[in-house]
């Protein structure tokens, strides 16, 4: 069995289908661990979630779907009664942070479908998303954790930081840049984990379009929300695949 770790999709069905093809995804041999942010950005958020549910239903392995900040925003929207959910003016005002940060495209995508389909997605997908996953001393999490608190205390006292906090990535990026400037390998592993997989922090902001391995931290958000570049990392071989973009 391969464990394939996937970055932030942001409603881009073409990118999802492309990267699965590039990776030669096989439901009998492969398990997916997705790092969150399935919605908001591109125009096919409903179709992305439907595809992920189908992938799970057709797989012989249990896929792991993690919670991202955009998913939490949208899950809160989905708690609205159907009559209010269909009122775009109401939704855009009450949930303005979500709506104006990519949420409108998700709203348009979901409003094309009947209420019962939307409820199925909430119950079977969004309500089941996990804040983090740990196995074989590897941590899978959307954003990271508060470096001052550490992972355990972040989970205990500020679990929302797992989907929002950027300090882990910022510290690792600083150390990674330093090692490149000095043209030598610098050991700067963070915490007790052998590997930490994160998304949330688009590397294109730093001019990087490929998965970025910084010590024991691997960032798989290459900016799919903006450019359609979606990454999958093979945990065993440490090679990767990217969608056409």
pLDDT at residue 188 greater than cutoff 80: no
Output the domain CATH number for residue 185.
3.60.21.10
Count of structural domains within the chain = 1
Given pLDDT bands bounded at 50, 70 and 90, which one contains residue 186? low
Domain of 54? 2-242
d(CA 70, CA 75): 9
- Residue 153 CB contacts under 8 Å (≥ 6 apart), including other chains: 146
Q: Are 60 and 120 in contact (CB under 8 A)?
A: no
pLDDT tens string 38-93: 999 999 999 999 999 999 999 999 999 999 999 999 999 999 999 999 999 999 99
Angle CA(35)–CA(227)–CA(201) in degrees, nearest 5? 40
């Amino acid at each position: 069995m391969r464990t394939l770790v996937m970055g932030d999709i942001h409603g881009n069905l073409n990118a999802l289908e492309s990267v699965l093809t590039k990776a030669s995804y096989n439901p009998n041999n492969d398990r997916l661990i997705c790092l969150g942010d399935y919605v908001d950005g591109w125009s096919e958020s409903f179709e992305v979630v439907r595809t992920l549910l189908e992938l799970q239903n057709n797989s012989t392995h249990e896929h792991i779907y993690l919670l991202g900040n955009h998913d939490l925003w949208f899950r809160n929207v989905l708690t609205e009664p159907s009559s209010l959910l269909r009122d775009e003016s109401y939704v855009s005002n009450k949930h303005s942070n979500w709506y104006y940060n990519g949420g409108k495209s998700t709203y348009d995508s979901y409003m094309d479908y009947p209420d019962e389909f939307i409820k199925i997605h909430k119950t079977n997908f969004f309500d089941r998303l996990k804040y983090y996953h740990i196995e074989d001393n590897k941590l899978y999490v959307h954003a990271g954790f508060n470096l001052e608190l550490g992972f355990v205390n972040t989970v205990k006292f500020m679990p929302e930081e797992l989907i929002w906090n950027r300090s882990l990535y910022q510290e690792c990026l600083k150390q990674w840049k330093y090692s490149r400037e000095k043209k030598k390998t610098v050991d700067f592993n963070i915490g007790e984990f052998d590997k930490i997989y994160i998304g949330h922090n688009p590397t294109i902001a730093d001019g990087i379009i490929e998965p970025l391995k910084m010590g024991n931290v691997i960032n798989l958000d290459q900016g799919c929300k903006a450019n359609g570049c979606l990454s999958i990392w093979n945990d065993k071989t440490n090679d990767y695949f990217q969608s056409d973009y």
